[in-house]
């Protein structure tokens, strides 16, 4: 897992943050990859050499160490990348 420690790309409470998750299935030559973006900036990326050949969907989980996190999703798009 590669993870950024400078999360200044996350906008403050009351602002809109855009989340994107790219899930790329494994091939014979390449591992499965999940890459997470916040407001267009890569914040985490993981590879799995055993991997799955395809992803049927992805879930997004949000949390806060202080608690009380609310997330509203609008314009959710799931599409197959080729």
pTM of the model: 0.64
**Alpha-carbon distance 60 to 19, whole Å?**
9
The tens digit of pLDDT for each residue in 32-65 reads: 888 889 899 998 898 888 766 665 655 666 666 7
66 burial via Cβ count (<10 Å: 0-12, 13-18, 19+): exposed
């Amino acid at each position: 897992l590669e993870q950024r420690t400078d999360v200044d790309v996350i906008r403050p409470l009351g602002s809109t943050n855009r989340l994107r998750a790219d899930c790329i299935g494994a091939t014979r030559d390449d591992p499965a990859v999940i890459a997470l973006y916040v407001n267009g900036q890569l914040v985490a990326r993981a590879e799995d050499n055993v991997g799955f050949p395809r992803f049927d969907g992805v879930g997004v989980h949000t949390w806060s160490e202080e608690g009380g996190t609310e997330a509203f999703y609008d314009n959710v798009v799931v599409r197959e990348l080729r």
